[in-house]
Amino acid sequence: MGLDSALNIARSGLVAIQRNLDLVSQNIGNAKTPGYTRKTLVQESVFDAGGPAGVRLGGVQREIDMAVLGRLDRSRADVAAATTRESALQGIELAHGTTDAGTTVADAITGLLNGFTNLAAAPADAGQQQTTWFAARTLAQRLNGVADAVGKARQEAQDGIVTDVATANAALREIASLTNEIRARRGIETPALEDKRDAAVASFANIIPANIVRRPNGEVQLITLNGVLLPLDPNNDVLQTSSAVTAPAAYYGVGGSLPGVTLNGTDITKQLSGGSLAEQIGLRDTILPRYQAELDLTAATLAYRFNAEGLALFTDRDGTAVPDVTQPYAGSNQVGFAARIMANPAIGNNPALLRDGTHAITGSPTGPSAFTPNPTGGPASFTTLIDRVRNYALGAEAAAGVPWSGIATGGLGPDGSLASPFIAPAAIADYAARMTSAQVGDRAAASDAKDRAATLRDALQSKFNARSGIDTDQEMANMITLQNAYAANARVISTIQSMWSSLLSIGS
């Protein structure tokens, strides 16, 4: 090897070391920059017929495992979905109260039963009549409170759909713009742009998880988990939806008033899965309408059974008749009744009606037996109605040996497409307890799902960081190694220069 070759090798080494030092400094400086991945320099040893010929430098590349990155994005989507569900259900759980505190709907029904039990011992006691009236009012207000919480959560889910679609569109536009820039800069280093695009993909994947297909020319394609290809347009929103009010009778689908999500005009609402957007849709269209229906059935069954026994204890706030629970739920005035139910103000003005009854019942072999109210001036010790309430209105039978018609578990929701996940007990207090348990249990399940998803996400993030993240200690060690190598190459060049000087002096 001649001195010229040695000098060229040393000089190429110095250039490579300098560029590597620049990258190490860049890595350290961006150690805490969100989305930044570790950069390295592509380089290879060059040989010719005479042996080593130096170092050839390529472009800057990202140290990244695309398979791990894809799994990480999916796990983030799972966390986003579970977090969305947990957040929506927390307010409903709070409205339900707890059995320990005695604040659930079932507890209020038990409180009303206790009021009638105490009234049976002193039917003429005005104070106990008033106490029982207050128990009825508390029960109605508790149903109102939970129904309001469900309605609020459903509206927030609808609003969340609008927000998620806007955020997803912004991410898609950014991905499209960055992709165009990456493609336009072919042959020029683009790792920083690729980092930004991956961050936009991660933001999008929280809302709509997608499989990412990367092309050698820098292009990417996003395909939803159900196979919908998402076009990338930097200038237009490709997803569309609209704002709406989620009244109890509102629903998405044929004949409904709630909007879906479309992709360039094609409805893809039912093709979305995973991520926060699909979760918001599920809350709006399935989970919360089911909750509303179960609450409505609780309220309607209470009002219906009391009325059937001769006591119009509960009424509809809008002035319509007490719902007929023997009719299908969808399309009836049962829909939204839990938010409208109220204790009859006429009884509040005359609590003695709790003893005497409000109307006569003709009786039926398949329903409650006949009943005649206590007439004005009738016996103060009249307990016939009170016994009917305790044994039948709040029990499993309409009359001795005659069971109540079952509380519906299917045909729920404003469009009749939903079903409860439990068997309905015959007694209304038992039904209310099971309803509360199921709804509160959904929140607990959402929290468990979020914890599991977060654990997996954190594990994948650690695995991703091990290769793609910046370990400042390791980068500093690399810098010291490079500095030592730089010094070594500099000594080689210095030695070669000395040798050239010696040779030149000999020649002179």
Model pLDDT for residues 7-46, shown as the tens digit of each residue: 556 566 666 666 666 666 766 776 677 777 766 666 666 5
CA distances from 109 to 135, 302, 426 (A): 8, 9, 14
**Residue 469 vs residue 319, higher pLDDT:** 319
What average pLDDT does the segment 97-122 reach?
95
Amino acid at 117: T
Whole-number pLDDT of residue 7: 56
Cα–Cα dist 110/431, whole Å? 12
pLDDT over 90 at 480, yes or no = no
CB within 8 Å of 193: residues ≥ 6 apart: 178, 181, 182, 185
Tokens (6 digits) for 404: 């109540």
What average pLDDT does the segment 429-433 reach?
97
What average pLDDT does the segment 183-195 reach?
81
Question: What b/e string do you get for 483-500 counting C-beta neighbours within 10 Å, with b at 16 or more?
Answer: eebbeebeebbeebeeee
How does residue 170 score in pLDDT terms, banded at 50, 70 and 90?
Answer: very high
Whole-number pLDDT of residue 257: 95
Tokens (6 digits) for 415: 């469009």
Phi, psi of 224 (to 5 degrees): -65, 165
CB within 8 Å of 239: residues ≥ 6 apart: 165, 168, 169, 172, 261, 262, 263
pLDDT over 60 at 262, yes or no = yes
For residues 5 and 53, is the Cβ–Cβ distance under 8 A? yes
pLDDT over 70 at 56, yes or no = no
* Contacts for 494-500: CB closer than 8 Å, 24+ residues apart: 496/3, 496/6, 496/7, 496/10, 499/3, 500/3
For residues 3 and 500, is the Cβ–Cβ distance under 8 A? yes
What average pLDDT does the segment 442-460 reach?
95
**Residue 432 vs residue 508, higher pLDDT:** 432
For 37-41, 258-262, 294-298, 336-340, which range has the lowest pLDDT when averaged over its residues?
37-41
Tokens (6 digits) for 406: 């079952």
Whole-number pLDDT of residue 435: 97
Rounded-to-5 percentages of helix, strand, coil across the chain: 55, 10, 30
Give 122-162 pLDDT, tens digit per residue.
999 999 999 999 999 999 999 999 999 999 999 999 999 99
For residues 113 and 432, is the Cβ–Cβ distance under 8 A? no
For residues 3 and 485, is the Cβ–Cβ distance under 8 A? no
* For the chain, percent of residues with pLDDT exceeding 70: 82
**Average pLDDT of every residue of the chain:** 88
Phi, psi of 57 (to 5 degrees): -100, 135
How many residues in the chain?
508
Cα–Cα dist 97/102, whole Å? 8
444 Cα distance to chain centroid: 13
Amino acid at 33: T
Whole-number pLDDT of residue 130: 97
pLDDT over 60 at 98, yes or no = yes
Place of tokens 């390529």: 58
Cα–Cα dist 372/269, whole Å? 55
For 203-207, 340-344, 460-464, which range has the lowest pLDDT when averaged over its residues?
460-464
pLDDT over 60 at 1, yes or no = no
How does residue 481 score in pLDDT terms, banded at 50, 70 and 90?
Answer: confident
Query: pTM of the predicted model, to two decimals?
Result: 0.87
CA distances from 339 to 108, 384, 470 (A): 16, 31, 55
* For the chain, percent of residues with pLDDT exceeding 90: 69
Cα–Cα dist 425/398, whole Å? 14
**Residue 52 vs residue 89, higher pLDDT:** 89
Tokens (6 digits) for 136: 């009825």
Whole-number pLDDT of residue 33: 73
Tokens (6 digits) for 156: 């927030």
Question: Residue 252 pairs with which residues in a beta bridge?
Answer: 258
For residues 469 and 37, is the Cβ–Cβ distance under 8 A? yes
Question: Residue 223 pairs with which residues in a beta bridge?
Answer: 211, 229
Whole-number pLDDT of residue 48: 63
Q: Is 405 helix (H, G, I), strand (E, B) or coil?
A: coil
Phi, psi of 488 (to 5 degrees): -65, -45
pLDDT over 70 at 304, yes or no = yes
Tokens (6 digits) for 15: 């250039």
pLDDT over 60 at 53, yes or no = no
Q: Tell me, letter by letter, the H, E, C secondary structure of 141-162.
A: HHHHHHHHHHHHHHHHHHHHHH
Q: Is 58 helix (H, G, I), strand (E, B) or coil?
A: strand
Cα–Cα dist 380/376, whole Å? 10
Q: What is the DSSP letter of 427?
A: S
